[in-house]
Amino acid sequence: MAVTKDKLEQLLKSLDSNLPFVSELLQADIRLFSKNENEEIFLHNYFHPNQDSLYLGPQKTNPKSGATLKPHKDVLIAKAFRLGRSIVGQFGLVINNRRIQEFAYPIFIENSNAEKEVMAVIAVERDIYTTRSTLGQHWDFMADLLVKSLQQKIIDRTFFPNIAFGEGSMILEESDTGLSIYFANPLAVNLLSEIAEHANQLLGRQIDDVFANFARKQRKSVKSQSIEKIEEVGLRQRNIALRYVRVSESILVALIKDNSEIKMKETLLKEIHHRVKNNLQTIVSLLRMQKRRNPELEVPFTEAINRTNSIALVHEHLSHSNDIENVDFGQLAQIILKGLLSSFGADEIQVNFDCPNKIFMLSEDATNLALVFNEILTNTLEHTMGKITRINVKLFSEDKNLHLIFNDDGGGFKDGFDYRQSKGLGWTIIRNIAEDSLGGSLSVENIDHDDKSRGVKVELFIPNLLTLVS
């Protein structure tokens, strides 16, 4: 195999992330095949739409990942690998009493000789009758377009968003005059029932014309997920949200959902987060009172206060945010860092904080990571006050993976220190949360800086943590 293992992993990771979107939009089951080191073709993964599947369900067989392909049975896939072109299967084959048609699309990657080599094949299986009611005559066009887009996303390392259950879709064509509706599926038409009773009343119309008489509010785009823009539209009886996903230079997919109930839930959740934050601040106040009465226990009380504050900050952030599920951890980390420096009276320490993008993660993960970050900083400030002059923090993403790098110039650990053997509560929290709860890998060591000073370096890598990067 002339293709490196890293390139193959990058290809498969990209396809794993993007094929759920393709499967849902095409309303088709997708099997992803690749080659192993022995050039044997095997099933790498399987994807199906939210509401339906040719395979899953009572007395149906789920395709098993890792199974080696039998070329005499899966002729289409073997042929696509061999010829390096799309293959259209026989019309009207039957799987689990449903008439289907199968298509095989090769996915290419450059080998060490800069030649394109087929390293994966996507087998798309559609129920003939189901897809007639979804994309109809546009199915073939969209399938070809999405496969081309997948090839580009492997290079760009970008991702399609997930399509939520109950989310409708429209295909839009972009021109100098604006975005025209090329196709609207039944779910999208139903969500726009206040504007149009059937699809023909939408087709050919421009989006700006369709929503001309309604209030529209723009939200931030998410380039890493190919989302050009997000907007909310207030109809007469409901609020809807649209996400515009770029598929090609001139074609976009508008994902549309009813936001009315979601808005109500968001308001309630914000109020809950606000009350949790207030309760945590009450606990902090009680801990401060107790600390003043027990000066001999100042250190453990201060640690408990800082830990509680870190959790409270997450809830405060969520109580004010427009997104109640995702937290920008870069912003949160800066607040934690500033608060701890003030708590230790160490505002004179030089801080270099580098986070080139907004890094979003689920609130539960942000709470865990906030505790880890708090413990790393607390450990440094407790043991290096009077010696430390600078702290460097770097946060960055690689696909959906998070990298956190921290170092200081406070003198470093004593020889023989092993954080894994430390019985201190701080390092126990860091180990348990970073490695067990978040599934990350941790590296802790001394570092010698260019100016001959010595300090501690902590590196944390957590795979598949991020929900989006902007």
Return the pLDDT at 223.
67
| Predicted model pTM | 0.57
Give the mean model confidence (pLDDT) for residues 338-351. 88
Amino acid letter at 462?
A: I
- Retrieve residue 458's tokens: 């902590």
Burial call 59-82: b when 16+ CB within 10 Å, e when fewer: eeeebeeeeebeeeebebbbbbbe
**Count, residues in the chain:** 470
Give the mean model confidence (pLDDT) for residues 291-306. 89
Residue 58 has pLDDT above 80, yes or no: no
pLDDT, tens only, 137-192: 788 889 999 999 998 888 888 889 988 888 889 999 999 999 999 888 888 888 88
CA distances from 117 to 66, 106, 403 (A): 21, 9, 32
Return the pLDDT at 92.
67
Domains defined along the chain, listed by start:
5-156 (3.30.450.40), 168-258 (3.30.450), 262-469 (3.30.565.10)
Query: Are 18 and 126 in contact, with CB atoms under 8 Å apart?
Result: no
Give the mean model confidence (pLDDT) for residues 266-279. 78
Give the mean model confidence (pLDDT) for residues 282-310. 88
Instruction: Say how far apart CA 462 and CA 329 lie, in whole Å.
Output: 13
Residue 393 has pLDDT above 90, yes or no: yes
Residue 122 has pLDDT above 80, yes or no: yes
Instruction: Say how far apart CA 52 and CA 176 lie, in whole Å.
Output: 38
pLDDT band at 55 (very low <50, low <70, confident <90, very high): low
CA distances from 412 to 320, 387, 425, 453, 458 (A): 39, 10, 19, 9, 11
- Retrieve residue 423's tokens: 């019985």
Residue 407 has pLDDT above 90, yes or no: yes
Among candidates 358, 305, 363, which has minimal Cα distance to 336?
305
- Retrieve residue 349's tokens: 């320490």
Query: Are 179 and 207 in contact, with CB atoms under 8 Å apart?
Result: yes
Least confident stretch, 122-136, 268-282, 285-299: 122-136
pLDDT band at 97 (very low <50, low <70, confident <90, very high): confident
Return the pLDDT at 251.
93
Give the mean model confidence (pLDDT) for residues 201-216. 90
Secondary structure (H, E, C), 159-223:
CCCCCCCCCEEEEEEEECCEEEEEEECHHHHHHCCCCCCCHHHCCCCEHHHHCCCCEEEEECCEH
Residue 470 has pLDDT above 80, yes or no: no
Instruction: Say how far apart CA 143 and CA 23 lie, in whole Å.
Output: 10
pLDDT band at 59 (very low <50, low <70, confident <90, very high): very low
Residue 220 has pLDDT above 80, yes or no: no
Please provide the average confidence, as pLDDT, over all residues in the chain.
85
pLDDT band at 326 (very low <50, low <70, confident <90, very high): confident
If one counts every other C-beta atom within 10 angstroms of the C-beta of residue 27, the result is 21
Residue 394: burial class (beta carbons within 10 Å; 0-12, 13-18, 19+): middle
Residue bearing the bigger pLDDT, 194 or 333: 333
**Strand-strand pairing, 28-35 and 227-234:** unpaired
Residue 403: burial class (beta carbons within 10 Å; 0-12, 13-18, 19+): middle
Return the pLDDT at 208.
92
Return the pLDDT at 224.
66
Give the mean model confidence (pLDDT) for residues 97-112. 84
Instruction: Say how far apart CA 202 and CA 198 lie, in whole Å.
Output: 8
Give the mean model confidence (pLDDT) for residues 391-399. 92
Rounded (10°) CA dihedral 383, 385, 387, 390: 100
Give the mean model confidence (pLDDT) for residues 273-300. 87
